Amino acid sequence: MGKCKGLLERLKNNESIVVAEGYIFEFERQGRLKAGSFVPEIVVDHPELVRKQHEEYVNAGSDVVLAFTYYGHREKLRVIGRENELETLNRKALQMARDVADRTSTLMAGNICNTTVYMRDDPEAIKKTENIFKEQIQWAVEEGADFIVAETYSDLGEAMLALQCIKKYGKGLPSVVALVPHSKDHTLDGVSFPDACKQLEDAGADVVGLNCGRGPATITPLMKEIKKVCKVPLCCLPVPYRCTPEQPTMQTLKDPKTGKQAFPVDLPAHTCGRTEIREWAEEMKALGIQYIGLCCGNASHYLREVAEAYGRSPPASRFSTDMSQHFIFGNRKDNKPYYSETLRKEITTANYK
């Protein structure tokens, strides 16, 4: 398959980019990495499964194959005692993503994220953070990334440093820079999200916005504010959980049964319905959000809703829901057993007394 149009070219043409994220949660669910450390060890241990997941997401409508290097940085690998595999993990993740992107005519993005060592006003921590960004960006460049995604920064300072490193070491690759909106309406270093996004735009980020942390219902009001002040294309990739004004992030959600923190393992109690993901995506499209996707908790059935809301018809759309074919709830005369009406009443009223 031929080389596809680049990120900036598409955005300039007013086209949209659908992006599947959420690899960490997906593989944690499959028992392939640990909730807690959340390190993408699977890249080294079972690369074939990562490749398969990339293909799944493209099948569901992703325009981007995001190399699975999120939390695959020096500090995270140190925590689990696998720092000696750092470069192997990064190169393997990038090479696989490149290969899938080439085979499917999609884009490949390198991925850097919050380092967990960054501390504002601490020169040593800042130096350490810059080194983490530098090595991951350089590997992404060498392995042929089309652009770099820098994401889940709670401090504008760390996001700004990530952007500066992409400019410095990224050999001109475009940048997508996303902040994570935790409970308060400003970054941890006290800048409102619209203001922070504007500052990233002014510093030369090609796409700015928010990802992770909040669900569709609580990220949307912030995106509307950001839209008012930013001119560059915006990105929005929430988590598909039912966050509320009282519990605005997945970390603040309480399990409805126990009242305890649901993050991370009890979050399934709060998963969004597919219809609400679709309606949210339609709202984002109407708002003009060009770079759209889902983060932690994402799965192919959700991403297909986003892709279809954005006017796409990915291979997975062949199997999009068609209840007209159902033998009870459908309307096809050639598919109606004699008892279907009786059964429909029983099923929909749960009249089991």
Contact 327, 53 (CB under 8 A): no
Contact 302, 272 (CB under 8 A): yes
Q: Residue 165 annotated as binding? A: no
Among 42-50, 88-96, 204-212, 227-235, the segment contacting Zn ion (CB under 5 A)? 204-212
Q: Residue 4 annotated as binding? A: no
Query: Between residues 96 and 295, which has the closer beta carbon with respect to Zn ion?
Result: 295
Q: Binding to Zn ion by residue 250, rule CB under 5 A?
A: no
Measured between alpha carbons, how far is 88 from 45 in angstroms, rounded to an integer? 11
AA letter at 242: R
Give the count of residues interacting with Zn ion (CB under 5 A): 3
Among 1-9, 83-91, 191-199, 296-304, the segment contacting Zn ion (CB under 5 A)? 296-304
The CB-of-154 to Zn ion minimum distance in angstroms stands at: 12
The CB-of-251 to Zn ion minimum distance in angstroms stands at: 11
Among 103-111, 243-251, 291-299, 323-331, the segment contacting Zn ion (CB under 5 A)? 291-299
Query: Between residues 97 and 295, which has the closer beta carbon with respect to Zn ion?
Result: 295
DSSP letter (8 states) at residue 272: P
* Cβ neighbour number for residue 273 with a 10 Å cutoff: 12
Query: Between residues 77 and 212, which has the closer beta carbon with respect to Zn ion?
Result: 212
Contact 68, 40 (CB under 8 A): yes
Q: Residue 295 annotated as binding? A: yes
Contact 188, 254 (CB under 8 A): no
Query: Between residues 130 and 151, which has the closer beta carbon with respect to Zn ion?
Result: 151
Q: Binding to Zn ion by residue 295, rule CB under 5 A?
A: yes
Binding mask 17-36 for Zn ion (x = CB under 5 A): --------------------
Contact 178, 150 (CB under 8 A): yes
The correct pick among 160, 219, 296, 306 for binding Zn ion (CB under 5 A) is 296
Among 132-140, 184-192, 208-216, 302-310, the segment contacting Zn ion (CB under 5 A)? 208-216
| Residues facing residue 149 across a β-bridge | 111, 176
For 49, how many CA atoms within 13 A lie in the half-sphere containing its CB? 16
Q: Binding to Zn ion by residue 212, rule CB under 5 A?
A: yes
For 130, how many CA atoms within 13 A lie in the half-sphere containing its CB? 15
Query: Between residues 272 and 295, which has the closer beta carbon with respect to Zn ion?
Result: 295
Sign of CA dihedral 249, 176, 1, 89: negative
Query: Between residues 194 and 215, which has the closer beta carbon with respect to Zn ion?
Result: 215
Using DSSP's 3-state secondary structure scheme, residue 147 falls into strand
Using DSSP's 3-state secondary structure scheme, residue 347 falls into helix
Among 45-53, 170-178, 184-192, 206-214, the segment contacting Zn ion (CB under 5 A)? 206-214
Contact 112, 94 (CB under 8 A): no
Contact 213, 250 (CB under 8 A): yes
The CB-of-97 to Zn ion minimum distance in angstroms stands at: 18
Which residue ranges make up the site for Zn ion (CB under 5 A)?
A: 212, 295-296
Binding-site sequence positions: 212, 295-296
Binding-site sequence positions for Zn(2+): 212, 295-296
